[in-house]
């Protein structure tokens, strides 16, 4: 069911304002979404004044600076800090991206940081991705073959067939695309979403896979696949520059022509 407004317990309140104590002239105001499960209060947006002269270039550097110097209770996921793991996916300046590769110099004015949209918040900037992972599991993201494991020969793939996976295997499953998609917001429990469909296409395309027909049959569903209306928010937000919209269209095309 489409619900445009936030539920009562999710309405955002005005939070604390942390004034700058360093007397720096190069200050950036950073508005961060906060929610603490232990207080039972509504989420709020805290404003931090951050001294940019002593801060690294990326948004993740700002978050670390806040955590280290201003409020150690700020909670966010991060791991590699180089755009490879996809842990620090969040909504920065209105668009989903990875905090570790987004330059704060690209953003004029105040910096707004929110968790990925339309997810249950676990704490502060951490959203609950359980549904997405379950959907990912449902498309069987592994090779389905006739092999028993006893064979001595490798499963071989020509260079040409391998190239078919380019632009799809690079996906790091950060969920930026899925949580940017309005269709996924309204039908996230049934519609698979761009990230999972891109993965589905990656396995359908794999020449070594023996289950192509079954994979296509399973994904061909009014809700699972055809809730994509080519809004293109997914492609706009992908921090790795991939094109989920194109992958979904390729699946639709395969189904239409097979």
Partner 1 sequence: MQNKNNPLSPHLQIYKWQISSLLSITHRIVGVINILAITIICFFSLSLLLGEESYQIINNFFKSFFGKFVLLGLCWTFSFHILNELRHLIWDLGYGFDLKVAKITGVIVLIGSFILTILFYLIGKNIF
Residue 222 within binding range of partner 1, rule CB under 8 A: no
- Nearer to partner 1 among residue 24 and residue 187 (C-beta): 187
How many residues make up the chain in this entry? 258
- Nearer to partner 1 among residue 13 and residue 163 (C-beta): 13
Residue 171 within binding range of partner 1, rule CB under 8 A: no
- Nearer to partner 1 among residue 123 and residue 208 (C-beta): 123
Q: How far is the CB of 249 from partner 1 (least distance, A)?
A: 6
Q: Which of 118, 140, 208, 240 binds partner 1 (CB under 8 A)?
A: 118
Q: Which of 116, 192, 197, 200 binds partner 1 (CB under 8 A)?
A: 116
Residue 193 within binding range of partner 1, rule CB under 8 A: no
- Nearer to partner 1 among residue 128 and residue 151 (C-beta): 128
b/e string for 58-84 if b means 16 or more Cβ within 10 A? bbbbbbbbbeebbeeebebbbeebebe
**3-state secondary structure string across 213-253:** HHHHHHHCCCCCCCCCCCCCHHHHHCCCCCCHHHHHHHHHH
Q: How far is the CB of 184 from partner 1 (least distance, A)?
A: 10
Q: Which of 101, 231, 240, 255 binds partner 1 (CB under 8 A)?
A: 231
Q: Which of 22, 26, 79, 230 binds partner 1 (CB under 8 A)?
A: 230
Q: Contact, 163 vs 207, CB < 8 A?
A: no
Relative to beta strand 126-127, strand 44-51 is: unpaired
Query: Can you say whether residue 140 is alpha, beta or left, with left for phi > 0 and alpha for psi between -120 and 50 degrees?
Result: left
Q: Contact, 128 vs 109, CB < 8 A?
A: no
Q: Contact, 37 vs 122, CB < 8 A?
A: yes
Candidates 59-67, 80-88, 178-186, 191-199: pick the segment binding partner 1 (CB under 8 A). Answer: 178-186
Cα 1 to Cα 183, 187, 188, distances in angstroms: 11, 7, 10
Residue 32 within binding range of partner 1, rule CB under 8 A: no
Q: How far is the CB of 244 from partner 1 (least distance, A)?
A: 10
Binding track over 37-56 against partner 1, x by CB under 8 A: x--x-xx-------------
Q: Which of 119, 175, 176, 192 binds partner 1 (CB under 8 A)?
A: 119
Which residues sit opposite 21 in a β-bridge?
none
Q: CA Rg, the chain, in Å?
A: 21
Residue 13 within binding range of partner 1, rule CB under 8 A: no
Q: Contact, 114 vs 30, CB < 8 A?
A: no
**Contacting residues toward partner 1, per CB under 8 A:** 4, 6-7, 9-10, 12, 33, 35, 37, 40, 42-43, 91, 93-95, 112, 114-122, 127-128, 130, 180, 182, 185, 229-233, 235-236, 243, 245-246, 249-250, 252-253
């Amino acid at each position: 069911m489409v619900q445009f407004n936030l539920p009562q317990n999710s309405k955002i309140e005005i939070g604390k304002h942390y004034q700058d104590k360093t007397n720096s002239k190069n200050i950036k105001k950073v508005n961060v979404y906060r929610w603490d499960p232990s207080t039972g209060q509504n989420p709020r947006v805290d404003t931090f004044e951050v001294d940019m002269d002593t801060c690294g270039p990326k948004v993740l550097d700002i978050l670390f600076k806040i955590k280290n110097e201003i409020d150690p209770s700020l909670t966010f996921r991060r791991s590699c800090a180089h755009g490879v793991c996809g842990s620090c996916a969040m909504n920065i300046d209105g668009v989903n991206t990875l905090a570790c590769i987004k330059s704060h110099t690209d953003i004029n004015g105040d910096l707004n940081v929110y968790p990925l949209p339309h997810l249950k918040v676990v704490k502060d900037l951490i959203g609950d991705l359980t549904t997405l992972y379950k959907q990912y599991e449902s498309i069987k993201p592994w090779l389905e073959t006739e092999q028993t494991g006893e064979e001595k020969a490798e499963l071989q793939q020509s260079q040409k067939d391998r190239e078919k996976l380019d632009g799809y295997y690079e996906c790091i499953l950060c969920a930026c695309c899925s949580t940017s998609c309005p269709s996924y917001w309204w039908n996230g429990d049934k519609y698979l979403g761009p990230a999972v469909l891109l993965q589905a296409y990656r396995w359908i395309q794999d020449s070594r896979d023996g289950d192509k027909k079954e994979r296509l049959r399973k994904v061909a569903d009014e809700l699972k696949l055809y809730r994509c209306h080519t809004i293109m928010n997914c492609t706009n937000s992908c921090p790795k520059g991939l094109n989920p919209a194109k992958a979904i269209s390729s699946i639709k095309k395969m189904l239409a022509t097979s």
